[in-house]
C-alpha cells in the first residue's frame, strides 16, 4: 500500500473540503489537518477478568468482564473502548464480548471525572 498511500493522501488533501462534505452529507465550514501520529497508550490497562471461552460448537471467544463501583477516574464508555481496542488488537482472530457489572449503587449513566461528551 506504500506506493499508493502517498498519492491518495495528496489527492484527498487537495480536495479535503469536498471529501468532507461528501462523507458528512452536506456543507462543512472548515477542514484542517493535524499530525496523524497517535501516541502510545499512556499506561498499562488492567482489566478485571478476561476469560477465553470455547463455545459448544467449538468457536473460541473472549469474555471480558468489568466491575464498576463508585469513584472511577475515567468514564466507563471510554474505558470499555480502550479495553475492546487492546483486546481486539492483541487477539486478532477472536471475537471479544465485554460486559460491565455496576455495583455499589453505581448505574450505567455514571461517568468519571472526564465526562464523555459528543459533538454530534
Q: How do residues 56-101 score in pLDDT, each as one tens digit? A: 999 999 999 998 877 777 788 888 999 999 999 999 999 999 999 8
Centre a 10 Å sphere on the Cβ of residue 94 and count the other Cβ atoms it contains. Answer: 15
Q: Cα–chain-centroid distance for residue 1?
A: 24
Round the average pLDDT of the chain to a whole number and report it. Answer: 81
Measured CA to CA, the distance from residue 67 to residue 89 in angstroms comes to 22
Which pLDDT score, from 0 to 100, does residue 111 have? 53
Lowest mean pLDDT among 65-69, 91-95, 104-108, 111-115: 111-115
Decide: pTM greater than 0.85: no
8 A C-beta contact, residue 77 and residue 116: yes
pLDDT of residue 11 exceeding 80: yes
Q: What is the DSSP string of 27-50?
A: --S-------PPPPPSS----SEE
Amino acid at each position: 500500500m506504500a506506493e499508493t498511500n502517498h498519492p491518495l493522501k495528496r489527492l484527498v488533501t487537495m480536495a479535503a473540503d469536498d471529501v468532507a462534505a461528501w462523507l458528512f452529507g452536506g456543507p462543512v465550514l472548515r477542514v484542517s489537518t493535524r499530525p496523524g501520529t497517535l501516541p502510545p497508550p499512556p499506561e498499562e490497562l488492567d482489566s478485571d477478568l478476561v476469560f477465553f471461552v470455547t463455545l459448544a460448537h467449538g468457536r473460541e471467544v473472549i469474555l471480558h468482564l468489568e466491575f464498576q463501583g463508585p469513584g472511577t477516574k475515567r468514564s466507563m464508555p471510554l474505558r470499555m473502548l480502550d479495553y475492546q481496542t487492546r483486546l481486539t488488537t492483541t487477539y486478532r482472530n477472536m471475537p471479544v464480548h465485554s460486559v460491565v457489572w455496576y455495583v455499589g449503587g453505581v448505574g450505567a449513566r455514571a461517568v468519571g471525572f472526564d465526562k464523555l461528551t459528543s459533538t454530534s
